[in-house]
Amino acid sequence: MVSLLENNKDINIHLHYIIDSVSEKNQRKLNDIASSYGRSLTFYAVDPTLFESAKTSFHFNKAVYFRLVMAEVLPFKRALYLDADIIVTGSIQYIFDLDLEQYLLAAVANPGFDRHADLGMQHQSKYFNAGVLYVNLEQWRKLSIMKNCLQFMHDNFSKIQLADQDVLNAVVDGGWFELPPKYNLQAVVFESDFSKNYPCYAPADLSSALRNPAIIHYSGTSKPWQLRDAHPLKKLYWKYLMKTPYFPYFPDDLTFFNFIKWLMPTPLLGFIKGIASKLQ
């Protein structure tokens, strides 16, 4: 929240939290952040039984499905959804200026998708990452997107791998506007030979995203609030965390052995692992 408001002070943003529960203490903290920037914050409670039968995993809990109810609880024409593992490092005015009349949403493509047949999607349809969604709420209500998503979840439980992201892509099936990757810079782009393995972005767009990202998405299982996370832009997350009431924060994987590993230079750690494997 802090990163969004810090870098978009010229935009009148109203914040909305869609949750199943939040303590009064955390509500106060979040409201304090919003009010410190002269902004308002509204909480919306989701019926926890609504997604009781949704497919979950270690990485995806029921909360990831809450974005599906946006059009039902937000009485607006448009809304920008942001995942919790995201920081905003630039202006998002470009997104708000988009004309979405012909689209259900705007998003950034997700690299490496090839399960069109499993999800019943047209072969030419691109697959988006659901971490950043600029949603046409009017069209979602008109076309009963939430109802269709719940039906797809019921009928295709075994085919769902990436929770609500699979569900939304299957239901939207190409009816979305593609944003440049700088508006959802995913962790996978930092892998070696990314451009060769995943040629889903124009070279100029990818270069621009890496030089000047507007939204950084710490996607994947490793997160910047964990000690051993190695994301190259991890320090930016901590920069904004330090501006919140949640600092100081101690990583949940902070153990003696992890701390020692964190202190070790990468080459030395690799050398030690190499010797250990030879001794086994």
CATH of the domain at 91: 3.90.550.10
pLDDT given for residue 271 in this prediction = 46
| Residues near 268 by beta carbon (within 8 Å), at least 6 away in sequence | none
Q: Is 23 inside any structural domain?
A: no
Is residue 37 assigned to a domain?
no
Surface-to-core class of residue 137, CB atoms within 10 Å of its CB (0-12 exposed, 13-18 middle, 19+ buried): buried
**28 in a domain, yes or no?**
no
Closest CA to 104 of 83, 120, 81: 81
Question: pLDDT digit string (tens) for 207-224?
Answer: 999 999 999 999 987 787
Please report where in the chains the tokens 């019921």 appear, as a residue: 154
- Residue 50: pLDDT above 70? yes
Total domain count, the chain: 1
Segments forming the whole domain that contains residue 190? 64-217
Q: Decide if 106 is inside a domain.
A: yes
The lowest-confidence range among 240-244, 247-251, 261-265 is: 261-265
In a domain, 42, yes or no: no
Average pLDDT over residues 237-260: 73
Asked, for residue 201, whether it belongs to a domain, the answer is: yes
pLDDT at 186: 96
Cα separation values, 276 from 13, 228, 279, Å: 53, 20, 5
Q: Decide if 8 is inside a domain.
A: no
* Spatial separation of the C-alpha atoms in residues 244 and 35, rounded to whole Å: 13
Domain contains 69: yes
Asked whether the beta carbons of 15 and 1 are under 8 A apart, the reply is: yes
Can you tell me the distance from the alpha carbon of 19 to that of 63, in angstroms, rounded to the nearest whole number? 7
